[in-house]
Amino acid sequence: MRFLTAIVLTWICASTSAFAFDVPVDGALGLQPAVTPIMERITEFHTLLLWIIIPITLFVMALLIWVMVRYNSKSNPVPSKNSHNTLLEVVWTALPVVILIAISVFSFPLLYYQEEIPDADFTIKATGNQWNWTYEYPDQGAMEYMSIMVPEDEIQPGQYRNLSVDYPLVVPVNATVRLQVTATDVIHNFAMPAFGTKIDAIPGRINEAWFQVTEEGAYYGQCSELCGQGHAFMPIEIRVVSQDTFDAWIAAEPGTDESNAVIAAYEAARDTRLAQLD
């Protein structure tokens, strides 16, 4: 029943909000829907591991049950004193090694794909602070601006508690983005589940990642490093829009009410188009 409920809630969330693909819902199962090539590969790797671990778990459980039934004190009053079965020891040593080698065949290419940053269309610099994020678009000459969580008593329709911010990141759909992450005080972590992006923000150091979002929408993440008492209140909100809308947003100066108005107008027009299609 919980499984069916999760499916229904996920469908409702996706169908009633054109710009909210990864908002957490009660009873949800599995990973968030992938919207980047990296996350698609992570999801495939996760599924592969699931098919590996299920038979291992069932085998170990069956083995434990067999041992408990066959070798309990009532069924086996005189215990065997044999030990050091060479064949058995070779098997239980070699088999895990073979399994790990098989997993590495799929995991190493995925790690390389994540770490090897392709030619990017532009760069975003994200800086973690106690307790908010500041963003900068150096290639567009945009000034650094601060992104702060919307307080619970100021949440507007379409916003989400502990997830929505006053000035979100904005990127164009299908653009390859180089992400540079650092921090000003303590270690933070820039995590976007739907992107497959999770990277530490370390003071005095710049870490790099990349993403290419293939679906327009609003996506949410959070700091995933315990960074102090305000750790739970520095979310990440990224709006993925058309290239024309992104250019208009840059022209309106990111981090201003004018830039937010550009995104609001674009989303309202898109919602209207989707409603007409329905």
Q: Does the pLDDT at position 16 exceed 60?
A: no
Q: What is the DSSP letter of 149?
A: B
110-143 per-position pLDDT tens digit = 999 999 999 999 999 999 999 999 999 999 987 8
pTM, entire model: 0.82
Q: Does the pLDDT at position 18 exceed 50?
A: no
23-53 per-position pLDDT tens digit = 777 777 788 889 999 999 999 999 999 999 9
Q: How confident is the model at residue 5 (pLDDT cuts 50, 70, 90)?
A: very low
Q: Does the pLDDT at position 6 exceed 70?
A: no
- Please report where in the chains the tokens 């710009």 appear, as a residue: 19
Instruction: Classify 269 as helix, strand or coil.
Output: helix
How far apart are alpha carbons 69 and 63 in whole angstroms? Answer: 10
Q: How confident is the model at residue 278 (pLDDT cuts 50, 70, 90)?
A: low
Residue pair 163/152 in contact by the 8 Å Cβ criterion: no
Pairing mode of beta strands 122-129, 235-241: unpaired
Q: What percent of the chain has pLDDT over 70?
A: 91
The H or E element containing residue 237 is strand 235-241
- DSSP letters spanning 127-144: EEETTEEEEEEGGGTEEE
Q: What is the mean pLDDT of residues 80-84?
A: 78
Q: How high is the pLDDT of residue 19?
A: 41
How far apart are alpha carbons 231 and 250 in whole angstroms? Answer: 29
Q: Does the pLDDT at position 180 exceed 90?
A: yes
Q: How high is the pLDDT of residue 22?
A: 64
Q: How confident is the model at residue 189 (pLDDT cuts 50, 70, 90)?
A: very high
| Cβ-proximal residues to 191 (8 Å cutoff; 6+ apart), any chain | 197, 198, 199, 221, 222, 223, 224, 236
Amino acid at 170: V
Could you tell me which residue, 156 or 20, shows the higher pLDDT? Answer: 156
Dihedral sign (CA 142, 148, 150, 153): negative
Q: How confident is the model at residue 3 (pLDDT cuts 50, 70, 90)?
A: very low
Could you tell me which residue, 145 or 84, shows the higher pLDDT? Answer: 145
Q: How confident is the model at residue 157 (pLDDT cuts 50, 70, 90)?
A: confident
213-256 per-position pLDDT tens digit = 999 999 999 999 999 999 999 999 999 999 999 999 999 999 99
